[in-house]
């Protein structure tokens, strides 16, 4: 059983933001429901991959299940996509996945905790990684995708300057 299993269903807001100067930024995925605020640490590459995965998923959903209530384009102008305080990350994300509930017309973003490698742990005492599920409307996901892409692009002009390139599949 996971150490923590949190379900924000549905979120009031979801965003990606950074803390720190260019080249030393820490990326955060954050969502909230009522008084519950969940902040997670992600990598820049994960933010970019999530943006692309959301875009592709929504394009497919729009073809198969048109949603007249969700605008086809995300316009961030006038929308508060800032991180909310306090920013106290629960964990660093190892994997993310996307799902869709057709009956509710909701998209779920599932984030799983990264576990330290190389630690000797008794298999009987080992707990599964923590999991957070954030249920969102298509419009919220479009905004998240656009925000993630904008945040990634606002860093160094040449991503090759990061010194490494890792691909994450969602």
Give 63-120 pLDDT, tens digit per residue.
Answer: 998 887 777 788 888 899 999 999 999 999 999 999 999 999 999 999 999 987 766 6
What's the gap between Cα 73 and its chain centre? 19
Q: pLDDT at position 89, please?
A: 97
Percentage of the chain modeled with pLDDT above 70: 85
Give the pLDDT confidence of 40-61 residue by residue, as tens digits: 999 999 999 999 999 999 999 9
Percentage of the chain modeled with pLDDT above 90: 68
Q: Which two tokens stand for residue 72?
A: 């086809």
- Whether the CB-CB separation of 36 and 162 falls below 8 Å is answered with no
Give the pLDDT confidence of 134-154 residue by residue, as tens digits: 999 999 999 999 999 999 998
Give the whole-angstrom CA distance, residue 41 versus residue 26: 7
Q: pLDDT at position 163, please?
A: 46
Write down all domains in the chain, each with its CATH number in brackets.
5-115+128-156 (3.30.2450)
């Amino acid at each position: 059983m996971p150490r923590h299993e949190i379900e924000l269903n549905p979120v009031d807001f979801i965003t990606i933001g950074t803390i720190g100067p260019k080249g030393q930024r820490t990326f955060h995925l954050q969502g909230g429901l009522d008084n519950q605020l969940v902040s997670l640490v992600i990598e820049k590459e994960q933010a970019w991959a999530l943006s692309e995965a959301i875009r592709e998923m929504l394009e497919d959903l729009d073809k198969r299940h048109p949603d007249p209530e969700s605008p086809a384009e995300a316009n961030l102008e006038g929308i508060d996509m800032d991180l909310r305080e306090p920013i106290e990350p629960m964990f660093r994300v190892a994997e993310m996945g996307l799902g869709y509930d057709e009956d509710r017309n909701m998209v779920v973003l599932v984030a799983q905790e990264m576990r330290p490698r190389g630690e000797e742990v008794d298999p009987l005492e080992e707990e599964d990684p923590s999991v957070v599920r954030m249920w969102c409307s298509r419009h919220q996901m479009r905004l998240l995708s656009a925000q993630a892409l904008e945040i990634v692009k606002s860093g160094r002009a040449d991503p090759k300057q990061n010194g490494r390139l890792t691909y994450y599949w969602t």
